[in-house]
Amino acid sequence: MVLPADPTVTWTVSHGLVPYEAASAAMPRRTAAIAGGEARELVWLLEHPPLYTAGTSARMEDLLAPARLPVHRTGRGGQFTYHGPGQRVIYVMLDVRRRFGDVRAFVAALEDWVIAAFAELGVEAEKRQGQVGVWVRQGSGHAKIAAIGVRLSRWVSSHGISLNVSPDLSHYDGIVPCGIRDAGVTSLAALGRTTDMNAVDHALRAAFERSIGPTVDGDPPLIERTEADIRAAFNSASV
């Protein structure tokens, strides 16, 4: 058994494209184990096949091309977003109450973590008042480069961050990303920066260890795709 006060977080990377519904089903099993003191907290890095996800605040009018890609409803906060190859998805399963105290402090810590990782990659990123996520200045305005959408169950988080490394940005044309109509979406590739996913992962891990806590290598969650697991991904109780 892992003691609840253990500060070490398991860090793991899945290679290849992980089906969204399978990852969504795996997260509640791990968060339940974390809440019960049976497993370490986890940061899980992966990529998904091309798809749209609809968070709990998603508005159907923001799905501009419903036939373009598969659409998955999810229990995370937020609105519509895109996932696909070339995007680093970071599922963050942490004890929010113990580490951060409340949800707002947790989301702010995620933003600060990603901004610090971008700084290591030579990219100046920032927060934007009143809007969750991480942004870069582009022309006379801003463009979003990392989206954040989380869910809490028994004060343990799931879902997390999608960071654009080199995805096909044209897929964002099928939605209004995060419901925001006055700003664009960009990526490290579009900014002329590194598209080496290993370099991105290294920067993320170094920044996480400085700002949140120590990590240890571990295995990805076991992927199972039973009907019960998929239901659990969407029906688990929230704080």
Q: Is residue 89 part of a domain?
A: yes
- Could you tell me the CATH number of the domain that includes residue 159? 3.30.930.10
> What is the pTM assigned to this prediction?
0.89
**What is the spatial distance between Cα 48 and Cα 89, in angstroms, rounded to a whole number?**
8
- Per residue in 88-110, pLDDT tens? 999 999 999 999 999 999 999 99
- Does any domain span residue 3? no
Residue 76 within any structural domain of the chain: yes
Which pLDDT tens digit goes with each residue over 110-132? 999 999 999 999 999 999 988 89
How is residue 7 written in tokens?
């500060």
Q: Indicate the number of domains in the chain.
A: 1
Identify whether 131 is part of a domain: yes
Is residue 57 a part of any domain in this protein? yes
- 8 C-beta neighbours (distance < 10 Å), count: 13
**Residue 156, domain extent:** 9-235
Which positions are annotated as active-site residues? 178
Outline where the chain has alpha helix (H): 20-35, 96-99, 103-120, 197-211, 227-235
How many Cβ atoms from other residues are within 10 Å of residue 214's Cβ? 11
Instruction: Determine whether 192 is exposed, middle or buried from the number of CB atoms within 10 Å of its CB (0-12, 13-18, 19+).
Output: exposed
Q: Please report how many Cα atoms fall inside a 13 Å half-sphere around the Cα of residue 184, on the Cβ side.
A: 14
Whether residue 2 is contained in a domain is answered as: no
